């Protein structure tokens, strides 16, 4: 291989590796057992020569790493995620490194988790499961597990033929006040940090369900724990956390919270697709042509326009 490409973590499937190997790349996968690599760990991996890196959203890709990558001759970085709040795109641009992400392939998988959490929260599946396992079921359901009603068709596409009912809200205020289920999917930036806070929570219905499959800091988790304590009928389904991988004190004790470990994109098909897209991002930049696979994608890189198709 003429080009040295690093992946900071092993990724699912072999397609992404084969794509790179077939095109003159030598692929090195970090085998460190640590789940979160530090900036120093990654500088050591980059070494003296590195053409491109596939990294993870748990890593802090800022000035230090992009200057190190640029000094090593690197031209491309791809986040193995659609969100890129861990990447300083301006710093990358300054050092001439193209930044890619992995949109598209995880959209439906994430929607599926948001819907699953909504239904699980509405029907109190986790509590019901605990109730059953604790041997409390005596043939008669003496706990009300069916307290909330959700208008199904309004948030779930049941099958391809059924029309989906859409209503564009005129304001955030309207959404907060009227929705039975609020599912958060923004990117994390200054405008969405603590978008859901004490004030917005107080405007929501007492029996509403809040789902977060975006980034933890979009919700003020301390305010949320307090709200959950004060409003036992309020439910939350969280895939992400403010201090991920940790939870704020008290959250784990709340029966009206369902918590899962950032699994929204965790299906085999999606994760393999993300790895493939990440490899194509890096390869496309190194070889100078766009070879991304997602037809919905307008630009292969976040910080430059798509080169003309080869
Ligand atoms: C997952 O959180 C992603 O941004 O891809």
Residue whose CA is at the smallest distance from ligand 1 atom 5: 81
Of 244, 272, 297, 304, the active-site residue reads: 244
Report the pLDDT averaged over residues 254-279: 94
pLDDT at 200 over 60: yes
For 95-109, the pLDDT digits (tens) are: 999 999 998 889 899
Q: How distant is the alpha carbon of residue 279 from its chain centre?
A: 18
**pLDDT higher than threshold 80 for residue 197:** yes
**Nearest-angstrom CA–CA distance, 2 and 298:** 29
pLDDT band at 149 (very low <50, low <70, confident <90, very high): very low
Structure confidence at residue 161 (pLDDT): 53
> What is the number of the ligand 1 atom nearest to the C-alpha of 79?
5
C-alpha to C-alpha distances, 69 to 18, 39, 96, 145, nearest whole angstrom? 23, 12, 10, 54
Q: Does 156 score more than 90 pLDDT? A: no
Q: Which ipTM value was assigned to this complex?
A: 0.72
Q: Report the 3 state secondary structure along 117-158.
A: HHHHHHCCHHHHHHHHHCCCCCCCCCCCCCCCCCCHHHCCCC
Any ligand 1 atom below 6 A from CB of 106: yes
Known active-site residue 227: no
Strand partners, 246: 243
d(CA 113, CA 213): 8
113 lines ligand 1 (CB under 6 A): no
Tens-place pLDDT, residues 8-42: 999 999 999 999 999 999 999 998 887 789 999 99
User: What angle (nearest 5°) sits at the alpha carbon of residue 89, between those of residues 87 and 94?
Assistant: 130
Distance 138 CA to ligand 1 centre (A): 42
Which listed residue (4, 124, 227, 262) is catalytic?
262
């Amino acid at each position: 291989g003429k080009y040295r490409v690093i992946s900071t973590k092993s990724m699912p499937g072999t397609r992404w590796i084969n794509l790179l190997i077939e095109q003159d790349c030598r692929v090195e996968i970090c085998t460190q057992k640590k789940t979160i690599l530090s900036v120093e760990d990654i500088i050591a991996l980059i070494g003296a020569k590195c053409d491109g890196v596939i990294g993870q959203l748990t890593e802090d890709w800022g000035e230090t790493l992009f200057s190190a990558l640029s000094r090593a001759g690197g031209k491309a970085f791809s986040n193995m995620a659609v969100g890129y709040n861990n990447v300083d795109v301006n710093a990358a641009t300054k050092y001439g490194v193209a930044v890619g992400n992995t949109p598209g392939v995880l959209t439906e998988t994430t929607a599926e988790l948001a819907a699953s959490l909504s239904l699980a929260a509405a029907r109190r599946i986790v509590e019901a499961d605990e109730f059953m396992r604790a041997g409390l079921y005596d043939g008669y359901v003496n706990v009300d597990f069916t307290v909330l009603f959700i208008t199904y068709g309004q948030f779930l596409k049941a099958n391809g033929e059924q029309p989906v009912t859409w209503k564009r809200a005129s304001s955030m205020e309207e959404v907060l006040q009227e929705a039975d289920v609020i599912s958060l999917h923004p990117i994390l930036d200054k405008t969405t940090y603590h978008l859901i806070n004490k004030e917005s929570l107080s405007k929501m219905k007492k029996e509403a369900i809040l789902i977060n499959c975006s980034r933890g800091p979009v919700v003020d988790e301390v305010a949320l724990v307090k709200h959950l304590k004060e409003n036992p009928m309020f439910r939350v389904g969280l895939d992400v956390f403010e201090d991920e991988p940790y939870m704020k004190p008290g959250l784990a004790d709340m029966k009206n919270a369902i918590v899962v470990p950032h699994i929204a994109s965790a299906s085999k098909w999606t994760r393999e697709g993300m790895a493939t897209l990440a490899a194509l991002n890096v390869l496309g930049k190194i070889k100078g042509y766009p070879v991304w696979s997602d037809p919905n994608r307008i630009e292969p890189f976040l910080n430059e326009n798509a080169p003309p198709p080869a």
